[in-house]
C-alpha cells in the first residue's frame, strides 16, 4: 500500500457538483484531486436532464441559491461557449383549472418578491402551439435553462486542472490524533489532504458515515422517456403545476407529474417520477405508462410519437429538502456538498462556490441555511485517532 502526495483538497465524486467544487476550489488557488468509484458523471449527473430551474422553488434559501447559480451558469456558458450545450429556453408552468391557476399565480407572486422573473400567461398557445386546448393558463419563467450535465461536469473538471482518480472507491476517511481529516483511502492507497469534500451524491451518506458524521441521504428513483427526434414541437420546459408539490413532498410513494421538454438535438424528454425504493434499478412499466399518458394529455401531438429509450437514476434526497453544503462542524476538515435531490445540476455552481469559500475560511450568510451538522451530533473534533476509519 502506497501513499500519494498531499493535496490541498480531496473531492469525493466526479458528478457535476463535485466538478463545480473542484473548479471553484482550483480558482481559489488550491490543489485538488477528484476521486470517484466510477467514471465522470457516472451517477445522478449522467441520469439527469440538465435542468437549471428557479420555477419550481418556493421563496427561501434554496431559491436564493438557485438564483445565484442561474447567474453563475450564464458566466460558465460564456467561458465555455458551445461546449456545455447551455440553452436559456425558459420554462412554462401550466394549470388545468381556474383554482389551480389562482394558486399558481399566488406562488409566482411570492417568487417575484424574491427576485424571480415571472410572467402570467393567458394565451398559452402563443408560447407552445402544441399544448392541449382548454388549459386555464400558466406562468412563464424566462430564467429557466438547460445544460448537457455530463458535458458540463467534464468541462468543469478539465478547466479545474484537478487530478482524476476514477474507478477508485473511497474505503476510509483518514483522521489524525486530533480527529481532523487528513485524507482518504482507496484500494490503491492513501491520498493525503487536510480537507475532504463529500460530493458523492446519492452515496453521500456512506461517505459521511466513514467520517462518523451523520447525513441521512436517501435515494429517490426517477424515470425519463426519450422520444424519437422531432421538429421543435416543444419549445421550452413545460410542466403541470402539481410538479411543484411533488418536488416538495417527502412521501416515499410513487408520484408522477407531466414534465415535457424539447432538446436542441430533436428528442423530447418526458418525466417526472419520484419514489423511494432504495437502489432498486428494475424497470417499472407502470411508471413509464403513467409518464407517457400524462405527457400525451399535455401535448396531444406526442401520442403517436415513438419512445426510443428510457433511463432512470437516483436523486440524493435529504428529509428537509435542502442540500448539505459547507464545512461540517462535527469533523474538522470535512466539507459536505450533497443532498440536492433533483436540483443538483442547477445548484452545482453556487454549491461549488460556497464550498471553495468555506475551504478558504469564509462562510457566506446564505450558506448557513445548508449547514451539514443540522442532521445530528456525529463524532466531534475530540473523537480521537480511531474515529472515522483509522
Going by pLDDT thresholds of 50, 70 and 90, the confidence category of residue 271 is confident
Cβ within 8 Å of residue 282, ≥6 positions away: none
CA distance 234 to 266: 10
Nearest CA-CA partner of 75 in 114, 13, 27, 29: 27
pLDDT per residue over 239-262, tens digit each? 988 766 555 555 667 788 889 999
Determine the 3-state secondary structure of 172 from DSSP. strand
- Domain ranges for the chain: 3-47+150-217+320-375, 91-142+218-317
Nearest CA-CA partner of 229 in 259, 261, 265: 265
Summarize the confidence of residues 315-339 as an average pLDDT: 96
Cell of 157: 473538471
The answer to whether 241 and 100 have CB atoms below 8 angstroms apart is yes
Nearest CA-CA partner of 22 in 206, 150, 196, 191: 196
- CA separation, residue 264 to residues 102, 138, 229, 267 (Å): 33, 24, 10, 8
The angle at the Cα of 180, spanning 158 to 20, to the nearest 5 degrees, equals 20
pTM score = 0.92
Q: Which pLDDT belongs to residue 381?
A: 38
Phi (first) and psi of residue 121, to 5 degrees? -120, 125
Tell me, what DSSP letter sits at residue 277?
B
Q: Which CATH number fits domain 91-142+218-317: 3.40.50.720, 3.30.9.10, 3.30.413.10, 3.90.79.10?
A: 3.30.9.10
Summarize the confidence of residues 15-41 as an average pLDDT: 98
Summarize the confidence of residues 186-213 as an average pLDDT: 97
The angle at the Cα of 61, spanning 57 to 64, to the nearest 5 degrees, equals 70
Fold of 3-47+150-217+320-375: FAD/NAD(P)-binding domain (3.50.50)
E strand spans, the chain? 3-4, 9-12, 32-36, 51-52, 91-95, 119-121, 137-141, 145-146, 163-166, 172-175, 181-186, 189-192, 196-198, 218-227, 237-240, 255-262, 268-274, 307-317, 324-327, 334-338
Cell of 307: 419512445
Going by pLDDT thresholds of 50, 70 and 90, the confidence category of residue 14 is very high
Amino acid at each position: 500500500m502506497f501513499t500519494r502526495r498531499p493535496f490541498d483538497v480531496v473531492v469525493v465524486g466526479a458528478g457535476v457538483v463535485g466538478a463545480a467544487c473542484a473548479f471553484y476550489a482550483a480558482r481559489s488557488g488550491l490543489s485538488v484531486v477528484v476521486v470517484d468509484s466510477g467514471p465522470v458523471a457516472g451517477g445522478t449527473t449522467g441520469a439527469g436532464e440538465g435542468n437549471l430551474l428557479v420555477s419550481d422553488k418556493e421563496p427561501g434559501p434554496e431559491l436564493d441559491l438557485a438564483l445565484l447559480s442561474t447567474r453563475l451558469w450564464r458566466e460558465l456558458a460564456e467561458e465555455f461557449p458551445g461546449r456545455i450545450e447551455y440553452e436559456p429556453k425558459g420554462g412554462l408552468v401550466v394549470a388545468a383549472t381556474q383554482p389551480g391557476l389562482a394558486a399558481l399565480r399566488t406562488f409566482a407572486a411570492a417568487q417575484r418578491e424574491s427576485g424571480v422573473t415571472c410572467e402570467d400567461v393567458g394565451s398559452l398557445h402563443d408560447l407552445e402551439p402544441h399544448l392541449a386546448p382548454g388549459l386555464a393558463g400558466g406562468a412563464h419563467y424566462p430564467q429557466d435553462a438547460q445544460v448537457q450535465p455530463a458535458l458540463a461536469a467534464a468541462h468543469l473538471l478539465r478547466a479545474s486542472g484537478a487530478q482524476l482518480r476514477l474507478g477508485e472507491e473511497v474505503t476510509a476517511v483518514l483522521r489524525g490524533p486530533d480527529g481532523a481529516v487528513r485524507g482518504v483511502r482507496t484500494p490503491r492507497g492513501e491520498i493525503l489532504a487536510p480537507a475532504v469534500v463529500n460530493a458523492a451524491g446519492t452515496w453521500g451518506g456512506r461517505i459521511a458515515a466513514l467520517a462518523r458524521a451523520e447525513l441521512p441521504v436517501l435515494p429517490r428513483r426517477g424515470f425519463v422517456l426519450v422520444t424519437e427526434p422531432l421538429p421543435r414541437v416543444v419549445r421550452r420546459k413545460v410542466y403541470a403545476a402539481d410538479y411543484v408539490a411533488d418536488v416538495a413532498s417527502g412521501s416515499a410513494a410513487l408520484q408522477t407529474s407531466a414534465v415535457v421538454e424539447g432538446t436542441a438535438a430533436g428528442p423530447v424528454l418526458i418525466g417526472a417520477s419520484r419514489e423511494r425504493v432504495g437502489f432498486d434499478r428494475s424497470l417499472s412499466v407502470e411508471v413509464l405508462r403513467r409518464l407517457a399518458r400524462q405527457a400525451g394529455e399535455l401535448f396531444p401531438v406526442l401520442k403517436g410519437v415513438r419512445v426510443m429509450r428510457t433511463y432512470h437514476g437516483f436523486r440524493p434526497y435529504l428529509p428537509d429538502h435542502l442540500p448539505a453544503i459547507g464545512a461540517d462542524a462535527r469533523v474538522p476538515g470535512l466539507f459536505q456538498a450533497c443532498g440536492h435531490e433533483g436540483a443538483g445540476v442547477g445548484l452545482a455552481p453556487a454549491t461549488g462556490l460556497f464550498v471553495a469559500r468555506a475551504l478558504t475560511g469564509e462562510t457566506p450568510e446564505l450558506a448557513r441555511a445548508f449547514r451539514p451538522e443540522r442532521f445530528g451530533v456525529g463524532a466531534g473534533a475530540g473523537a480521537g485517532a480511531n474515529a472515522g476509519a483509522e
